[in-house]
């Protein structure tokens, strides 16, 4: 089953806060925007919030418009979208209106949290244990298996931060309210840490409009214009590179990456992956290129597919992979994921390649697959 389309939806102050530190919920957007949010809920199969938001705001997360509910029913869907929450602890208050209003409810939790949640909630929700920790990719796979095609995520900070960092968000809808919270401890929409693309990975703006006194902007969390010229064959080879990454011997100190070199006529010339052949420092692109003679005439028109952006700096070898690719005479690279700042802050392999005239295409929809075997190196810790 395919994973659902994931829309992150939030309202923030001008200083990026989701709320203030006072009692009760800070009202950031107005009636007009709430109505838009209601319409998006009505178009969603499920709405997800973190347990922190349930505790702080006690939201009901309903479709408020009777007309929209009727429209859903007429389409053969339940009147209300499935309500989903995520909790590590399982400490959920059955008195929250989340559990007593609207349609079906689902809790994703840990094995430990499941017993607590079941005891507290009884029949009010279905409780799904995802193991020792909540793995977001597994959670989305499970929702996909339940027929959820469109998932709306309404916060809070920790949930939004993880989904964006893991490259699992397809779209961000942000309402910016004309006020400043000004409190250092107020929750921020996105917490500090490494994000796909790092500070250089600008999102693409899909549209922006005033709604009442808030400005609503929709973003695609990917770099601009980089999917130009990407074909179905490119996706096939890049997917293979991601599969190779998934098969790397795991490491706490290096990324797991796969790479494939493909000739212009579509024949595979070589493939490689991180730590291949027991070499603890060999990189995927390096391993693949090493299998070809340096003067192979097919390299000039070949494409290198790499799950991760080729590296720009290396301590363990004289040349980083971006330089090896340039020196091999390769003119095109397709990659899924920009290097996060985990090991080398500000690494810019794409910049090195571009400067040497190599055309680099990115396929952001495969970023999640490229990140998956590296999630322990980029996932924020949740206590
Ligand atoms: N302005 C807006 O649009 C908006 C929208 C929503 C929320 N908010 C604000 O955001 C604040 C709440 O944000 P928050 O960051 O505290 O809460 P949150 O993201 O809603 O929820 C965090 C909680 O979710 C669970 N969780 C999240 N990721 C997990 C993982 N990977 N594994 C296991 N459990 C996980 C944990 O629950 P357990 O503690 O049970 O383990 C964690 O404490 C509130 O102030 C609220 O008003 C604002
Ligand atoms: Zn490298």
φ/ψ of 93, rounded to 5, equals -90, 110
Cβ < 6 Å from ligand 1: which residues? 10-11, 18-19, 25, 28, 49-53, 56-57, 86-89, 91, 133-134, 154-159, 162, 187, 382
Strand residue runs (E) in 254-350: 258-262, 268-273, 303-308, 332-337
* 253: nearest Cα among 189, 346, 316: 316
Token pair listed for 46: 């499920």
Closest ligand 1 atom to residue 159 Cα is 19
Q: Which ligand is nearest to the CA of 177?
A: 1
pLDDT tens digits along 148-194 = 989 999 999 999 999 998 878 888 999 999 999 999 999 999 998 87
pLDDT at position 351: 82
- What CATH number does the domain located at 232-378 have? 3.40.140.10
pLDDT band at 225; cut points 50, 70, 90:
very low
The domain segmentation of the chain, as residue ranges, is 5-220, 232-378
Of all residues in the chain, what percent carry a pLDDT higher than 70? 95
φ/ψ of 150, rounded to 5, equals -125, 120
* CA of 254 relative to ligand 1 center, distance in Å: 30
Element (H, E) at 359: strand 359-362
Determine the average pLDDT of the residues in 64-69: 96
Closest ligand 1 atom to residue 383 Cα is 41
Determine the average pLDDT of the residues in 223-229: 51
Closest ligand 1 atom to residue 91 Cα is 40
Of all residues in the chain, what percent carry a pLDDT higher than 90? 73
> Which is more confidently placed, 347 or 375?
375
> What's the topology of domain 5-220?
Dihydrofolate Reductase, subunit A (3.40.430)
Q: At residue 224, does pLDDT exceed 50?
A: no
Q: Do domains 5-220 and 232-378 have the same CATH topology?
A: no
* CA of 252 relative to ligand 2 center, distance in Å: 16
Mean confidence (pLDDT) of the chain: 91
pLDDT at position 328: 96
């Amino acid at each position: 089953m395919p994973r659902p389309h994931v829309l992150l939806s939030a309202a923030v102050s001008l200083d990026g806060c989701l709320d203030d530190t006072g009692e009760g919920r800070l009202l950031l957007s107005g009636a007009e925007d709430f109505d838009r949010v209601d319409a998006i809920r009505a178009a969603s199969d499920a709405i997800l919030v973190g347990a922190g938001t349930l505790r702080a705001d006690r939201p009901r997360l309903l479709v408020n418009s009777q007309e929209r509910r009727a429209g859903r029913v007429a389409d053969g869907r339940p009147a209300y979208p499935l309500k989903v929450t995520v909790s590590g602890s399982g400490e959920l208050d059955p008195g929250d209106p989340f559990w007593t209003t609207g349609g079906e409810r689902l809790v994703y939790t840990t094995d430990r949290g499941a017993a607590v949640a079941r005891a507290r909630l009884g029949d009010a929700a279905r409780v799904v244990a995802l193991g020792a920790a909540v793995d977001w990719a597994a959670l989305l796979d499970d929702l996909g298996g339940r027929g959820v095609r469109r998932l709306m995520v309404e916060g809070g900070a920790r949930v939004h931060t993880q989904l964006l960092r893991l490259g699992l968000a397809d779209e961000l809808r942000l309402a910016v309210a004309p006020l400043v919270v000004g409190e250092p401890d107020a929750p921020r929409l996105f917490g500090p840490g490494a994000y796909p693309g790092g500070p250089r990975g600008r999102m693409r703006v899909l549209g922006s409009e005033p709604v009442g006194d808030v400005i609503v902007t929709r973003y695609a969390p990917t770099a601009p214009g980089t999917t130009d010229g990407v074909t179905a064959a490119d996706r096939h080879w890049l997917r293979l590179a991601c599969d190779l990454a998934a098969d790397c011997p795991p490491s706490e100190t290096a990324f797991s990456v796969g790479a494939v070199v493909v000739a212009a006529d579509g024949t595979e010339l070589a493939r490689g992956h991180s730590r291949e052949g027991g070499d603890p420092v060999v990189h995927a692109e390096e391993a693949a290129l090493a299998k070809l003679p340096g003067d192979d005439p097919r390299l000039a028109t070949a494409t290198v597919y790499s799950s991760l952006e080729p590296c720009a700096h290396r301590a363990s070898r004289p040349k980083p992979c971006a330089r090896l690719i340039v020196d091999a005479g390769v003119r095109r690279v397709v990659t899924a994921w920009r290097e996060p700042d985990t090991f080398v802050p500000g690494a810019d392999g794409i910049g090195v390649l571009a400067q040497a005239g190599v055309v680099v295409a990115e396929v952001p929809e495969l970023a999640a697959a490229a990140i998956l075997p590296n999630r322990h190196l980029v996932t924020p810790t949740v206590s």
